[in-house]
Structure 1
Amino acid sequence: MLSSSAKLNKQKSKKRGNQRQQEIVHHHPQEDDSDSSVEDDNAVAASSMASRDRTGKRDLSQNKQQQIQVELMAAFRRSMHIKVADKHDPHLPNAIASFDEIKIPSWWNRDRGHDERNDTNADALSSFQAIKHAVLHNIEKGRWKEPTPIQMQSIPTLLERRDLLACAPTGSGKSGAFILPALILSHAANCLYYNSTPSNNAPAASSSKKQKKKLQKQQVDSDSLDPSKSQSSTNRQGEIRSLLLAPSRELAAQLHREVDRLGMGKPGGISSLLLMKANASHVIAGTAGGKSGLDVLVTTPLRLVDALHKGLRLDAVRIVVLDEADRLLDAADGKQQRDDKKKQKKKEIKEEKRQSSNPSSDGSSTSKDSEDEEEEEEEDDEDDDNVQPQSSGSSQTQTFLAQMDSILSAVPTSAVRALFSATVTQTVKSLSHSILRNPVDVTIASPGSAGGANTDIEQELMFVGREEGKLLAMRQLKLRGQLKPPVIVFVQSQERAQALFGELLYDGLHVDVIHAGRSRTARDNAVARFRKGETWVLICTDLVARGVDFRAVNMVINYDLPTSGITYVHRIGRCGRAGRKGKAITLFTEADFDNLRTIANVMKQSGCKVEDWMLQLKKSIPKKKSSSAPRRSNIDTTPTYDKKKRFHKRQMIQESKRKKQRTGSYSKDQRESSDKR
């Protein structure tokens, strides 16, 4: 009963409230409108607050997703041992895990000049897919299953047109890391006519005057590089769109072969060339690549400097790559000496004079001859293109660093620049700041690697006592079955390479020799026979110590101890390439103790076992002098009796030549006297 009466009272009060509200509405209609508007405003505000909360949550979730992606990419790089100097670079391209992940660069549509009224976006995508399909097809034919760590980061970085400083161990696929982007960028330059400087770089109103002038200058450079503005799109004769530089002709020839292989089937065909003396005139005249120009030009520095002096232009270059950058940027390397053939002839004359004065000599070099050898060591690993340029001027005496300065001055400032090497020294690091612009610094450092040393190589030091013991050790390796071809043997000079070739020639080994003193044809034939398997043992100087890829090499023998850790790393890097295992044996004598500690340190950092006494050796001479190879006795096992016999035979031949000259001059005098009578 109480509950029912309470309900009745509540209904009556509610009815009275409704009547009162109706009266208020009847007497004050304007106030009602204002109240309703306030309620509407409150509703709008409430809905906006709710939407703002939802947007904030959405933005927060997107930030979390981006952060997760960044952390996942960082974890992936760590797993692949990819080290990037600036980890917090907001524009750092993501590494790829497979070649299929190569995607169209962000600038591809923008620089083509996207227009919503035309289907240029689809055209650009199809153009990119065409070159990508051709490259991936060639990669599959070459049995590249997945990119190597250096390729994972370098390919997307260069495709985004970022300058790059890359350091990776020998045999890690550095060539493919820059050849693939070079082919794609040259294709973009030829088909899409992109500007080298993005079109949205117009100076803002709030920019300073210096920034405006700088951006305007970049825009002018961009306009001058844009083929659609500089010349007809149907005639691009003389253009060079990609430039690859190597320190030796052997390495340059290898890069050229890889360019042709990976560029096979490219839309419009691949147009690449290895710059040589025979075709330099056509390249300078702009007729080498036809109307479409050259996609890729591969060359050595001095050959290109010679062409620049004769009028070659590099205005259209979009990407320039320095392979073995530490060598190309070495201020003490690449010095031009006398011609190798003349040098070899003079050396033979000196040897004949020495033997004529001392026929029973045991083959040890005099101090003067040893000094000549030391001076000629710098020439041993130089290419003939870098020895005898046919141009006149100071370029004949330039170092590699001076040559690179001339080349980079001729390349547009907006071109992509990349430095690759297995050993990046502090000097190269400092020079890169003046060569590269806001570069991506990438280092591939696998566990236990030291200065670019390949951890797939088993390294061994072998003490042989004296120089005579080296040849004996080589023959013992053969008898024990430990000499497993193909083998590369490194020596310190041309003369020693030729002498060792003569000693091993009759030991039942298919042996050949390559050094800068041989002709270009002979060197090419030696490399070709070694690649085919016709040659089992290749004796060489440091000419092929850098970059040259012999994938099936099982063993490297350092017959002469290298004078630096960098040279050692590049020498042993000729084996154990592309994931294969290899073995490196280094022979040393007591004369090598000054340089032994450096090699032992590299081996220890690579995880190899090294005797403690080697690490505790002290250099007895200054570092500047220890960098030169020690004086060594000649490689000659000929008995003294045979030496004397050979000497007497040579003397008899020389005496007979002198007699013929005297008799010839005597008969000539007789004829002249008879004619006078």
Structure 2
Amino acid sequence: PQARKAGSVAAATMERPLSKFDKDFYYEHPAVGAWSDADVRAWRRDRRVSVRDERRTPKPVRSFMEAAFPEFLTEALEAASFERPTVIQSQAWPMALSGYDVIGLASTGSGKTLAFTLPAIVHIVAQEHLAPGDGPIALMLAPTRELALQIKSECDKFGASSGVKNTCVYGGVPKGPQLRDLQHGVEICIATPGRLLDFTDAGQTNLRRTTFLVMDEADRMLDLGFEPQLRRVVDQTRPERQTLMFSATWPREVERLSRDFLARALMVEVNHAAELTANESIEQKFEVCEEGEKHGRFLRLLQGLYDGAARTIIFCDTKRGCEALRSELKRRGMAADSIHGDKIQQERDWVLLQFRSGECPVLLATDVAARGLDIKDVRLVVNYEFPPSTEDYIHRIGRTGRAGHQGLATTMINERDGGLARDLHDMLVKSNQEAPDWLMQMRGGGKGGGGGNKR
């Protein structure tokens, strides 16, 4: 791929010449090479995969053997009891291992974390060892500390056998332990942009060795206003780096960012992710009710669905609303806790640990938890208030129905949400879900349905 603008790396390069590095580590397995073009097109069509440049795009792999990873990674995948690659992994792995810049568009829960983590480790083990004072070889940027920690857990799992060290850098906690990791030397840094810039601005770490860059949930990073920080971070990396960008949606702002940061990138899109659609594994239901009756209706709904064990996430618009509902549910004997912006990081980590383990199976959350949480077996998502946009709605309900499991999402809705009815109706149609008649009436300005459980 063509080189990008060198940016501020130029001065660092003059301080110490930087070695050339390899990016292409892909070996096409004979079974993959034997696939005809017609076979590949059929595979992509059946799995709703589209690619931007079919001529340059490697064929997908159908198994870990076909991916031709080093033995230590294949053994780690087997130890983790993974049966086969997910769709995004099947296509993104050969693209990334071939050294291309990659754009991956896929819904949450699609396995995209391993789609970039394993190629990053392959890239790292082929580079020169870190010297004293070197920063990370691979940099993985995430919008939230929760997502950053989940990426770290995969790096821990698959990097251990090769000695690839990592650290996670995010705000809301003391800098000391993070700084010690960076100064001791780590091959992978998983970071939120702001905290990383705290360290680079202070000269406490650098990105001179960063040749593998990942931006995960790029759309969310732009939603949170991180574009200036992203540009400052990227400007400090090697200009000829390999860059991977993953996003659940493809708004114009993300497309523009990709043109600035990536060179001749290959793109893979799964399940029409660029369109505003929800995961088809999620059954979507709606409770239509007046504002005054919503609370009672919600409590009856939850008691009818809650079985004491199934993990449930309830989204509220405000921190106060989260805490009020948490108190109410605890009074009713439900093991419930909350996560929102007023909680310090240690509290958030503890709540999520209890939720993951099943000790506290009901989690109330503001949108701080709507993205990045990858928790297995969330059976139910409830939107106590309708989210501010259809995109937020999709990301909230995407906490369930992950990794091939079925999920249920129920949303409280009333006439004040009518402004979003058109987008919601269109999204339901695109997601192969039934768009109810009352939604059409609300969309047209009439009254919504008269209550009851509607689908």
State the TM-score bracket (shorter-chain normalisation).
0.7 to 0.9
Q: Does 2:237 correspond to 1:411? A: yes
- Structure in which a larger fraction of residues adopt helix: 1
CA distance in 2, matches of 1:494, 1:507: 20
Deviation at 1:583, TM superposition (A): 0.2
Once the two structures are superposed, residues 40-91 of structure 1 have per-residue CA deviations (whole angstroms, 9 ceiling, x without a partner) of xxxxxxxxxxxxxxxxxxxxxxxxxx997333322222233221012233xx
Alpha-carbon spacing, 1:99–1:420, altered in 2? closer, same or farther (3 Å): same
- Of 307, 314, 323, which residue of structure 2 is paired with 1:489? 314
Once the two structures are superposed, residues 494-537 of structure 1 have per-residue CA deviations (whole angstroms, 9 ceiling, x without a partner) of 11111211221201110001001111111111000000101121
Where structure 1 has 5 or more consecutive residues not aligned to the other structure, the ranges are 1-65, 104-128, 194-232, 335-398, 621-677
CA distance in 1, matches of 2:284, 2:130: 56
**Partner of 1:160 in structure 2?**
98
CA distance in 2, matches of 1:469, 1:100: 56
- Of 411, 414, 422, which residue of structure 2 is paired with 1:597? 422
Alpha-carbon spacing, 1:617–1:449, altered in 2? closer, same or farther (3 Å): farther
Q: In the alignment, is the contact (CA less than 8 A) between 2:277 and 2:427 conserved in 1?
A: no
**Partner of 1:582 in structure 2?**
407
Alpha-carbon spacing, 1:610–1:80, altered in 2? closer, same or farther (3 Å): closer
Q: In the alignment, is the contact (CA less than 8 A) between 1:601 and 1:615 conserved in 2?
A: no
**Partner of 1:76 in structure 2?**
43
Identity in percent: 31
Q: In the alignment, is the contact (CA less than 8 A) between 2:134 and 2:208 conserved in 1?
A: no
Q: In the alignment, is the contact (CA less than 8 A) between 1:167 and 1:444 conserved in 2?
A: yes
Q: Does 2:365 correspond to 1:509? A: no
Counterpart residue identity of residue 201, structure 2 = H
- Of 272, 275, 278, which residue of structure 1 is paired with 2:166? 272
SS in 2 for 1:554: strand
Once the two structures are superposed, residues 194-226 of structure 1 have per-residue CA deviations (whole angstroms, 9 ceiling, x without a partner) of xxxxxxxxxxxxxxxxxxxxxxxxxxxxxxxxx
What is the root-mean-square deviation in Å for CA atoms of aligned residues? 2.5
Q: Does 2:132 correspond to 1:239? A: no
Q: Does 2:362 correspond to 1:424? A: no
Deviation at 1:141, TM superposition (A): 2.3
CA distance in 1, matches of 2:118, 2:295: 44
Moved more, 169-178 or 450-459: 450-459
Deviation at 1:615, TM superposition (A): 3.4
SS in 1 for 2:137: strand
**Partner of 2:261 in structure 1?**
435
CA distance in 2, matches of 1:67, 1:430: 37
**Partner of 1:46 in structure 2?**
none
Alpha-carbon spacing, 1:616–1:440, altered in 2? closer, same or farther (3 Å): farther
**Partner of 1:257 in structure 2?**
153
CA distance in 2, matches of 1:154, 1:88: 15
SS in 2 for 1:240: coil
Q: In the alignment, is the contact (CA less than 8 A) between 1:138 and 1:263 conserved in 2?
A: no
CA distance in 1, matches of 2:433, 2:124: 44
**Partner of 2:17 in structure 1?**
none
SS in 1 for 2:268: strand
Q: Does 2:59 correspond to 1:94? A: yes
Q: In the alignment, is the contact (CA less than 8 A) between 1:158 and 1:181 conserved in 2?
A: yes
CA distance in 2, matches of 1:544, 1:283: 23
- Of 465, 475, 483, which residue of structure 1 is paired with 2:299? 475
CA distance in 2, matches of 1:619, 1:443: 33
- Of 359, 363, 371, which residue of structure 2 is paired with 1:534? 359
**Partner of 1:288 in structure 2?**
182
CA distance in 2, matches of 1:483, 1:592: 30
Question: How do 1:112-191 residues align onto structure 2 when only pairs under 5 Å count?
Answer: 132-189=70-127
Counterpart residue identity of residue 445, structure 1 = N
Alpha-carbon spacing, 1:282–1:525, altered in 2? closer, same or farther (3 Å): closer
Q: Does 2:316 correspond to 1:316? A: no
Alpha-carbon spacing, 1:527–1:479, altered in 2? closer, same or farther (3 Å): closer
SS in 1 for 2:44: helix
SS in 2 for 1:77: helix
Alpha-carbon spacing, 1:555–1:516, altered in 2? closer, same or farther (3 Å): same
- Of 192, 196, 205, which residue of structure 2 is paired with 1:304? 196
Once the two structures are superposed, residues 122-166 of structure 1 have per-residue CA deviations (whole angstroms, 9 ceiling, x without a partner) of xxxxxxx7xx22222221222211001100111111111111111
Instruction: Using structure 2 for the length normalisation, give the TM-score.
Output: 0.84
Counterpart residue identity of residue 430, structure 1 = R
CA distance in 1, matches of 2:420, 2:307: 26
CA distance in 2, matches of 1:246, 1:619: 39
Moved more, 533-542 or 307-316: 307-316
Counterpart residue identity of residue 301, structure 1 = P
Deviation at 1:95, TM superposition (A): 1.2
Counterpart residue identity of residue 208, structure 2 = D
CA distance in 2, matches of 1:592, 1:438: 42
CA distance in 2, matches of 1:87, 1:289: 43
Once the two structures are superposed, residues 247-290 of structure 1 have per-residue CA deviations (whole angstroms, 9 ceiling, x without a partner) of 11111111111110122212xx13110114667467668x6363
Q: In the alignment, is the contact (CA less than 8 A) between 1:553 and 1:575 conserved in 2?
A: yes
Moved more, 478-487 or 468-477: 478-487
CA distance in 2, matches of 1:79, 1:522: 44
Counterpart residue identity of residue 87, structure 1 = E
CA distance in 2, matches of 1:412, 1:470: 54
Q: In the alignment, is the contact (CA less than 8 A) between 1:170 and 1:453 conserved in 2?
A: no
Alpha-carbon spacing, 1:546–1:98, altered in 2? closer, same or farther (3 Å): same
CA distance in 1, matches of 2:117, 2:277: 21
Deviation at 1:616, TM superposition (A): 5.3
Q: In the alignment, is the contact (CA less than 8 A) between 2:63 and 2:84 conserved in 1?
A: yes
Where structure 2 has 5 or more consecutive residues not aligned to the other structure, the ranges are 1-32, 446-455
Deviation at 1:172, TM superposition (A): 0.8
CA distance in 2, matches of 1:431, 1:451: 19
CA distance in 2, matches of 1:309, 1:566: 34
SS in 1 for 2:412: strand
Higher relative contact order (CA 8 A, sep 6+): 2
Deviation at 1:471, TM superposition (A): 2.2
Counterpart residue identity of residue 218, structure 2 = A
Counterpart residue identity of residue 230, structure 2 = M
Question: How do 1:42-53 residues align onto structure 2 when only pairs under 5 Å count?
Answer: none
CA distance in 1, matches of 2:360, 2:425: 31
SS in 2 for 1:462: strand
CA distance in 2, matches of 1:483, 1:462: 20
Counterpart residue identity of residue 171, structure 1 = G
- Of 417, 434, 454, which residue of structure 1 is paired with 2:279? 454
Q: In the alignment, is the contact (CA less than 8 A) between 2:289 and 2:413 conserved in 1?
A: yes
Instruction: Using structure 1 for the length normalisation, give the TM-score.
Output: 0.58
Alpha-carbon spacing, 1:283–1:582, altered in 2? closer, same or farther (3 Å): closer
SS in 2 for 1:298: strand
Alpha-carbon spacing, 1:552–1:162, altered in 2? closer, same or farther (3 Å): same
Once the two structures are superposed, residues 535-558 of structure 1 have per-residue CA deviations (whole angstroms, 9 ceiling, x without a partner) of 121000111111211111000001
CA distance in 1, matches of 2:35, 2:311: 49
- Structure in which a larger fraction of residues adopt strand: 2
SS in 1 for 2:364: strand
Q: In the alignment, is the contact (CA less than 8 A) between 1:167 and 1:452 conserved in 2?
A: no
Larger Rg: 1
Question: How do 1:505-654 residues align onto structure 2 when only pairs under 5 Å count?
Answer: 505-615=330-440, 617=442
**Partner of 2:5 in structure 1?**
none
